[in-house]
């Protein structure tokens, strides 16, 4: 897919060897593979094309961020299907910012916008540094993260309101603390931030695993 379209790009060069040498990388890609394997053919074609259009969207310290953020929509698709919603389908990317997914909830047409929040710039610096740092930086998510989350949900809400009146914002959060040892405190923070935003929000914490938080209009679970 990506290799054929972007033949001069080296991201997936020796990919199989990288997976053998770095088990964590292999686990991440298997997580994506499981999520993508559940898509129907039409949904896969739409998502594949969206991801490829963003293949060269990089972030300093994180190559292919745009590409993987598009693929993250597959997790939202799976979540909606598991919740029992009907006619879950991806929407084509247009000139205006519209939601990513449409679905039917008890006969009502609704929409889902997917957002991804990556690790902080400071965490990228830490992972590329040989300097020791105090682990207390991971004790809470902090005000900066909260502001980013509120901004992302607010933007998503506008995108949903552009085409309809109701729906859900699905956010995949890659927290700085990759061990997620402080998940319980993160959970409290997230529920507090999302409670009054006026829309249902589901936050998936981390790429792997099933740590998720529902908040907003539907309360928490």
Dihedral pair phi/psi, residue 200, rounded to 5°: -70, 135
| Total number of domains constituting the chain | 1
What's the pTM value of the predicted model, to 2 decimals? 0.88
Residue 11, in any domain of the structure: no
**Structural domain containing residue 167:** 2-6+16-218
pLDDT by position in tens, the chain (length 221): 676 788 778 888 888 888 888 888 899 999 999 999 999 999 999 999 999 999 888 887 778 889 999 999 999 999 999 999 999 999 988 767 889 999 999 999 999 999 999 888 888 888 888 788 877 888 888 888 899 999 999 999 999 999 878 899 999 998 888 778 888 888 888 888 888 888 999 999 988 888 889 886 643 33
Tokens standing for 169? 């914002």
Is residue 55 in some structural domain? yes
pLDDT for 218: 44
**What pLDDT is attached to residue 113?**
97
Specify the residue for token string 């009907």: 86
Q: Give the whole-angstrom CA distance, residue 6 versus residue 47.
A: 17
Q: Which residue has the tokens 């029992």?
A: 84
d(CA 82, CA 35): 12
Inter-CA distances, 169 with 145, 152, 161, 184, Å: 17, 9, 12, 22
Element (H, E) at 105: strand 101-105
Q: Which single residue is written with the structure tokens 């507090």? A: 192
Sheet holding 200-205, edge to edge: 86-90, 101-105, 108-117, 167-173, 200-205, 212-215
User: Which residues in the chain belong to E strands, given as ranges?
Assistant: 86-90, 101-105, 108-117, 167-173, 200-205, 212-215
The pLDDT score that the predictor gives to residue 82 is 95
In-domain check, residue 152: yes
């Amino acid at each position: 897919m990506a290799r054929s379209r972007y033949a001069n790009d080296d991201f997936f060069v020796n990919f199989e060897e990288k997976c053998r040498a770095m088990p964590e990388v292999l686990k991440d890609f298997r997580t994506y593979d499981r999520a993508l394997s559940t898509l129907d053919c039409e949904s896969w074609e739409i998502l594949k094309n969206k991801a490829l259009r963003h293949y060269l969207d990089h972030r300093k310290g994180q190559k292919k961020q745009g590409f993987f953020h598009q693929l993250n929509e597959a997790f939202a698709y799976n979540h909606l299907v598991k919740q029992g919603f009907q006619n879950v389908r991806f929407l084509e990317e247009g000139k205006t910012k519209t939601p990513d997914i449409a679905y039917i909830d008890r006969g009502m047409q609704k929409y889902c916008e997917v957002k991804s929040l990556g690790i902080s710039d400071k965490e990228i610096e830490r992972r590329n540094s040989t300097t020791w740092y105090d682990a207390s930086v991971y004790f809470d998510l902090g005000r900066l993260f909260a502001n980013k989350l509120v901004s992302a949900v607010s933007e998503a809400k506008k995108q949903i309101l552009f085409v309809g009146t109701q729906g859900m914002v699905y956010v995949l959060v890659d927290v700085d603390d990759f061990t997620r040892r402080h998940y319980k405190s993160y959970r409290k923070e997230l529920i507090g931030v999302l409670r009054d935003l006026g829309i249902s929000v589901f936050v998936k914490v981390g790429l792997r695993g099933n740590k998720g938080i529902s908040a907003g209009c539907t309360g928490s679970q």
